Amino acid sequence: MNSFEMKAVGNCEDLKGATSASDEARSFNQRGLFIGGCPKSGTTLLLSLLDSHPRLVVLPEETFYLEQRSHYRALKTPQARLRRLLEETDLSLLGQGRFEPKRECDSVDARDYSHFDYSRFVKLAEEFVGAGGMDDSLLFSEVLRAYALVLGIDWRNCVRWVEKSTSNEDQLRALKELFPTAKVIQVVRDPRAVFASRKKRLASYGRYSKAHRLVREWNRNARLIPRLRREPSRFLVLRYEELVKNPTVVLREVCRFGGFDFSEQMLKPTRAGQEWEGNSSFQPGFQGINPATVDQWKGYLTHDEIWWIEFHCRKGMSLANYPLQTSGRFSLSRWLKRLPDESRTGYIRARRASLCQLIGGLRECRYPDRSTCAEGLGSSETSASASTLSWPT
């Protein structure tokens, strides 16, 4: 074989290798699993349990990539989109070593990325994205592939890569466009517990101003339950209460849904492979999966606050089988009464938003008609057969 023939063979081998690498990257791209849910609904707990699985690549920080689809589309080059993803989302925290983010209360949410080679991560991501043939879907999974390589995870043989942002369940258009084969897990939690957890953080500054925003965000999440339950092969809706009370049962269902085997390691939460210290608003330190968190709101919220939540969230609570403690009906005297720790400005904003909800002016609080709502958690044969989980009635 002369030198010309040897060079030609070498070029063919290089081309074959490049094609193989591209095929592997696109195969990896098809394995997405997204987690969504209202803030403080248990999405980070679920993420940390999945992080412990040996065959998953789990991104430890939120990116809101689906929600911010239009912002990325407006950028002209893949390199500009990558810079936004690495520098303007919480992925930038991967380069800060061990630290505790500034909290609104005494909860712990320490990150330990001291073992993570952030410079190599950025370099690999830039190399992958600069390889050509890049679209916005592949760009995102290539960042996850770079993350896996830095952590020493076998990305070729991983079953799923996982990203959690608290708006993912509401970004179905972007999901269909970018990741049509991906699956989504929506975590739902009692709105009274969510309200208590978020209020405890906000009120530590003094008076807070988000009494209606908190219920509005929960409704935005809960109103999607019927729609997601209609496609059980792509969407799984689970309740936080069941996760902490029966973690093995629920995690086995999550594994079945995601197409990977259950591992006992999943019962020990981690973040980027390191022990996770939790982010509870009520516990200064993480004490493992604790079902006591389910009812902590009962000793924290007043009767007026419970009524406020139930009045605005009663439709979603019915969908998710959360029983009311009050009548849930309108009461002018209660509606006019300022809630504990609610600021004067917040009071005006909350009552104005409440009126908008009452007249149907808030999209986040508009629920499907009654026939569709019959598809709530455990309320019909259809939903019961869609999952092996047992929902309380």
- What's the confidence (pLDDT) of residue 218? 96
Q: Which residues contact 237 (CB under 8 A, 6 or more apart)?
A: 185, 186, 188, 225, 228, 229, 377, 387
High-pLDDT (> 90) share of the chain, %? 73
pLDDT tens digits for range 17-69? 445 778 999 999 999 999 999 999 999 999 999 999 999 999 999 999 999 99
Let me know the angle formed at the C-alpha of 101 by 58 and 201, rounded to the nearest 5 degrees: 105
pLDDT tens digits for range 126-145? 999 998 889 999 999 999 99
> Which has more confidence, 319 or 100?
319
**Domain match, 80 and 13 both:** no
**Domains in the chain: how many in total?**
2
Rounded CA separation 175/182 (Å): 8
> Which has more confidence, 29 or 384?
29
**Domain match, 92 and 135 both:** yes
347 within domain boundaries? no
pLDDT tens digits for range 281-308? 555 565 568 888 899 999 999 999 999 9
Q: Which residues contact 134 (CB under 8 A, 6 or more apart)?
A: 78, 142
**Domain match, 18 and 42 both:** no
What average pLDDT does range 357-378 have in this prediction?
74
Are 60 and 115 in contact by the 8 Å Cβ rule? The answer is no
**Domain match, 128 and 8 both:** no
Per-residue pLDDT at 365 exceeds 90 = yes
Task: Supply the CATH number for residue 244's domain.
Answer: 3.40.50
- What's the confidence (pLDDT) of residue 335? 97
Crossing angle of the two packed helices 136-151 and 118-129, in degrees rounded to 10: 150
- Please give the residue range of the domain that contains residue 15: 1-27
- What's the confidence (pLDDT) of residue 2? 55
Rounded CA separation 52/244 (Å): 16
330 within domain boundaries? no
Are 52 and 270 in contact by the 8 Å Cβ rule? The answer is yes
High-pLDDT (> 70) share of the chain, %? 83
DSSP calls for 120-169: HHHHHHHHHHTTS---HHHHHHHHHHHHHHHHT--GGG-SEEEEE-TTGG
**Domain match, 142 and 285 both:** yes
The pLDDT-based confidence of 367 (bands split at 50, 70, 90) is very high
**Domain match, 173 and 229 both:** yes
Sheet of strand 235-239: strand arrangement: 56-58, 160-164, 32-37, 183-188, 235-239
- What's the confidence (pLDDT) of residue 98? 79
- What's the confidence (pLDDT) of residue 307? 98
**Domain match, 264 and 377 both:** yes
Are 391 and 246 in contact by the 8 Å Cβ rule? The answer is no
- What's the confidence (pLDDT) of residue 22? 85
**Domain match, 266 and 146 both:** yes
**Domain match, 44 and 12 both:** no
**Domain match, 69 and 4 both:** no
205 within domain boundaries? no
323 within domain boundaries? no
pLDDT tens digits for range 151-180? 999 999 999 999 999 999 999 999 999 999
**Domain match, 235 and 107 both:** yes
